[in-house]
Structure 1
Amino acid sequence: MMADPAAPTKIARLLSDIQPPSGDDREGWDIELVSEPFAMDCEDVETALARLRDHARQHEWDIVIGLTELPFRDEDDGRYLLAETDPRQRTAVLSLPALGGFAMRERARHAVRAIVSGMADHAAARQSEPMPRFTSRWRLLVGMVLANRPWLLVPGLKSALVAALATGAVATINSTVWLLAGSLSPWRLIVATIASIALVVAWLVIDGELWDRPDDSSADARERSRLYNTSTLITLTIGVIICYLALYIVNLSWALFVLDPAVMGGYLHTTLGYGDLFVLSWFVASAATVGGALGTGLESEEAIRAAAYSKREEERRNRLASERT
């Protein structure tokens, strides 16, 4: 098995105990794992298969299966591929995002077993039910988003996190913020939430140069860019929403610890209760999220891409950025 670095290699290591198809000689069965970016700079499945065939000849492997986070499309009908095999050369490539992102170990194990069984014996392959070759666009998209690990976006942007926490801490004890929060109706607070999240996502895309542009004017290139951009927007939106909820919890805890609504109400000449702290924390979370966006300006483009993408996609984006410069 050849696997792209990072996540594909981790999954490949979990599959190193796969047994040979029934009836095969277990004494002569041996699995070798090579972690190498065989699909890092290619966008078509034929190129990936050609590289795997070269490695198979060099290492004298009987069967070679490549694991990658790269999405592939069939050039004939435009559908997205789960796996592509070359039975004659006993070579196959498996697109991990096409598995959907959930229960990856079990799904990858099942897929690899099906590929091995299909290529180990041509007669058996004709008699057995083949593994599905295609996957849906939405299943692939979910797999790409989960591969990007959106829950790690904020920890990966330390300057943004510090800026957001500092903004929230200061705003929580500011009397003007209290007055603004108390004057806003629920629908305006909702609009502020949506606007702050959208602003941060847009700023990350612009500041980190995360928008993918087609390599040429072909339909395949445009569709590939749409897929990458959709996964980017979903990844960033989920990551920023997680940040927003975390900031709300932190700000609410801070407010409950340091503030006395009665004292603040006397200072503002109004009646306040602990319920108002929840509204205050809601408004402060929006302000702190925007403050976090300003903090991303202190991060390098490489740091933003590292926080927003999987290892394979991060290296792909860095390569494209270097080519443009």
Structure 2
Amino acid sequence: MTKGIRVGLLADPAAPTEIARLLSDLEPPSEDREPWDIEIVSEPFAMDCEDVETALARLRDHARQHEWDIVIGLTELPFRDEDDGRYLLAETDPRQQTAVLSLPALGGFGMRARARHAVRALVSGMAGNAQAGHSEPLPRFTSRWRLLVGMVLANRPWLLVPGLKSALVAALTTGAVATINSTVWLLAGSLSPWRLIVATIASISLVVAWLVIDGALWDRPDDGSRDARERSRLYNTSTLVTLTIGIFICYLALYLVNLAWALFVLDPAVMGGYLHATLGYGDLFVLSWFVASAATVGGALGTGLESEEAIRAAAYSKREKERRNRLAHERT
């Protein structure tokens, strides 16, 4: 009976673990090679987002404990090369049969398929099974923009919507009242399209700023080094983009609900007679647009967060600090 190669996948909790479980059926690229016996362990192993050697050392410890022939770590944190500062897709230690894979560096879109290909290439290469035509060489580096897209999608900005339920309810209430207010109709009708666009941008920006300040999401460098400053810029950019996408989704939902409400309860002809103006159903779209901007600011800033954890999940630095705290607690 052919002895299989014991492969350990040590995955960070949450999304990396979910992806790792989808890889439990990976097989060698050739049937005449030793089969892979894959074991999955869910545990935070990355002590520092820039220290890839620390991550590899922790993986080696797990390989000895579990008697794995090959171990690969799956993490949602970014890594940088200490020599040239480029962002790493994967780092390997062939002598120790150890590798770490940064999932966001895969780019976010089609991450599961990309992760499957990457893990297969890493295991195949370290097991000595890489053959021409069976697997493509895995690049070691990735671009900053590709990494940023992966980080934003890993943050899952759409999950901010349930975390802002109380704010959305307050905004919907504000919008419902404002929709039938004649003064709001006059204001909406007096605004040009570019002013409505500015109002949209301003309302979303104010809510994003409030979330960053209220949730203490702004990452500050640990020291004055260039690497620390670059890491903070990357974290802060991913946080801002994540929050902006999440708030825009809320804004769009608010607009659609306000529009449906306006179409249901309002008659433009009646309101036009009251305001001594010619109004049509097209004006309801403008009204809903203006109300969405006003209600976004008034509703979101006037209420607390339904789930602070959902907001903090948008910041990589917060997840990394929580990971370090868990590891420190385990060692005490």
Q: When the two structures are superposed, what TM-score results if normalisation uses the length of structure 1?
A: 0.90
Determine the C-alpha separation between the residues in 2 that align with 1:27 and 1:129. Answer: 19
Contact map agreement 1:115 1:131 (CA 8 A) in 2? yes
* Bigger mean CA offset, 4-13 vs 159-168: 159-168
Change (3 A) 1:72 1:185: same
Q: What's the offset of the Cα at 1:273?
A: 1.2
* Bigger mean CA offset, 223-232 vs 285-294: 285-294
Unpaired runs of at least 5, structure 2: 1-8
Q: What's the offset of the Cα at 1:302?
A: 3.8
Q: What's the offset of the Cα at 1:101?
A: 0.1
Contact map agreement 2:167 2:303 (CA 8 A) in 1? yes
Determine the C-alpha separation between the residues in 2 that align with 1:86 and 1:231. Answer: 29
Determine the C-alpha separation between the residues in 1 that align with 2:62 and 2:81. Answer: 23
Q: Deviations over 1:1-45 (max 9, x none)?
A: 0101110011111111100242x7767531101011112655411
1:14 to 16, 22, 38: 22
Identity across matched positions, percent: 90
Determine the C-alpha separation between the residues in 2 that align with 1:152 and 1:139. Answer: 21
Contact map agreement 1:156 1:307 (CA 8 A) in 2? no
Q: How many aligned residue pairs are there?
A: 324
Contact map agreement 2:47 2:54 (CA 8 A) in 1? no
Q: What's the offset of the Cα at 1:108?
A: 0.4
Determine the C-alpha separation between the residues in 2 that align with 1:158 and 1:314. Answer: 26
Change (3 A) 1:56 1:171: same
Q: Deviations over 1:163-208 (max 9, x none)?
A: 2211111111111111110111112111111111111111111111
SS in 1 for 2:277: coil
Q: What's the offset of the Cα at 1:300?
A: 6.4
Q: What's the offset of the Cα at 1:280?
A: 0.2
Change (3 A) 1:294 1:223: same
* Bigger mean CA offset, 91-100 vs 192-201: 192-201
Contact map agreement 2:11 2:75 (CA 8 A) in 1? yes
More helix by share: 1
Contact map agreement 1:152 1:307 (CA 8 A) in 2? no
Contact map agreement 2:242 2:314 (CA 8 A) in 1? no
Question: In structure 1, what is the equivalent of residue 263 of structure 2?
Answer: 256
SS in 1 for 2:322: helix
Change (3 A) 1:228 1:55: same
Determine the C-alpha separation between the residues in 2 that align with 1:193 and 1:42. Answer: 35
Q: Deviations over 1:99-146 (max 9, x none)?
A: 000111110011011101111029969998631000000000000000
Question: In structure 1, what is the equivalent of residue 102 of structure 2?
Answer: 95
Q: What's the offset of the Cα at 1:157?
A: 1.6
Contact map agreement 1:171 1:177 (CA 8 A) in 2? yes
SS in 2 for 1:31: strand
Change (3 A) 1:256 1:316: farther
Q: What's the offset of the Cα at 1:251?
A: 0.6
Unpaired runs of at least 5, structure 1: none
